[in-house]
């Protein structure tokens, strides 16, 4: 029997709202918070446990080197923008035992999942819009965003908001997968999906914004951050079997999962067959090691 495809429900708040930024980083106080608007992307980011199985394990592996790149120190007050299921926030608690972190995400399912795991007061999670943060100016030592900036409709607004709520001299940093070349799990998937169905090319995540070398750094500089630098961060993940690789795609999370959810049974089985051949050749099932490269950028908030 084939594995039953799970399709995530529609109607949950999207990863980011489509509300414009009302106040820039030069304003004296924070804008009023608003509720994120629902979008068609909601189903991609609605199932916390499914997302954990799909991309959460990559986030947990990427978080520690990203925190090192961002220069997080013990005692820092950190804002985690697009906190999702909490991978980065919990890494902050481990790396900075005297620090604290506030996670903001528009998905109620993700926020609930992270709150259930928090187990203390040093990490708090709330629903919010990256483009319109509720916090006062200079509230944090660091504002970080892991694997989310490319999904924000108005990325410039979000970076300005991150800078506004970070103290002068504090760090604003983000990391985004290199979908075109460096994120092997997804590169293999989309290569085979497009080979099977050329119309899938428009959904290929290689077209994601700010996922190529230099693009995050340019975005950071354009928002007035200083001493900007960008570096690649590469991690590896071992999948215990082909099913360990393939089954999370069946749960409807992220663009790749949403694409699989849209397929009828016959093309879905053909895609599975092609991926199995691509990863295992003609050999038996075995563990599979894949690399993931992200581009990370950081900059300092100038004095006001």
Question: Above pLDDT 70, what percent of the chain?
Answer: 84
Check whether 19 has a pLDDT greater than 80.
no
Q: Average pLDDT over the chain, rounded to whole?
A: 86
pLDDT digits 0-9 by tens, 181-220: 999 999 999 999 999 999 999 999 999 999 999 999 999 9
pLDDT digits 0-9 by tens, 219-237: 999 999 999 999 999 999 9
Lowest mean pLDDT among 4-8, 84-88, 109-113, 298-302: 4-8
What's the N-to-C CA distance of the chain in angstroms?
63
User: Regarding the domain delimited by 40-181+205-235+294-300, which CATH topology (the fold level of the hierarchy) does it fall under?
Assistant: Rossmann fold (3.40.50)
Where in the chain are the domains?
A: 40-181+205-235+294-300
pLDDT digits 0-9 by tens, 108-134: 989 999 999 887 789 999 999 999 999
Q: pLDDT value at position 284? A: 96
Write down the pTM of the prediction: 0.83
């Amino acid at each position: 029997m084939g594995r039953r495809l799970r399709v995530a429900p529609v109607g949950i708040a999207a990863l980011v709202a489509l509300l414009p930024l009302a106040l820039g980083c030069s304003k004296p106080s924070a804008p009023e918070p608003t509720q994120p608007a629902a979008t068609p992307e909601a189903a991609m980011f609605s199932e916390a446990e499914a997302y954990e199985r799909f991309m959460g394990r990559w986030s947990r592996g990427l978080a520690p080197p990203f925190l090192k790149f961002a220069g997080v120190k013990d005692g820092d007050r950190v804002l985690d923008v697009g906190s999702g299921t909490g991978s980065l926030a919990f890494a902050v608690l481990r790396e900075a035992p005297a620090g604290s972190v506030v996670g903001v995400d528009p998905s109620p399912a993700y926020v609930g999942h992270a709150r259930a795991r928090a187990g203390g007061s040093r990490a708090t999670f709330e629903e919010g819009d990256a483009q319109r943060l509720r916090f006062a100016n200079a509230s944090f030592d660091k504002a970080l965003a892991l694997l989310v900036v490319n999904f924000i409709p108005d990325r410039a607004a979000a970076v300005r908001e991150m800078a506004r709520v970070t103290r002068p001299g504090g760090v604003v940093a983000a990391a985004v997968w290199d979908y075109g070349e460096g994120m092997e799990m997804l590169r293999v998937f989309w290569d085979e999906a497009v080979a099977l169905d050329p119309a899938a090319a428009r959904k290929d995540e290689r077209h994601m914004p700010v996922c190529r070398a230099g693009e995050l750094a340019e975005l950071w500089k354009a928002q007035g951050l200083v001493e900007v630098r960008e570096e690649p961060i590469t991690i590896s993940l071992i999948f215990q079997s082909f099913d360990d690789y393939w089954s999370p795609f069946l749960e409807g999370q992220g663009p790749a999962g949403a694409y699989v959810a849209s397929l009828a049974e016959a093309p879905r089985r053909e895609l599975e067959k092609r991926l199995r051949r691509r990863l295992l050749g003609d050999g038996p099932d075995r563990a599979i090691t894949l690399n993931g490269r992200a581009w990370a950028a950081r900059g300092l908030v100038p004095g006001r």
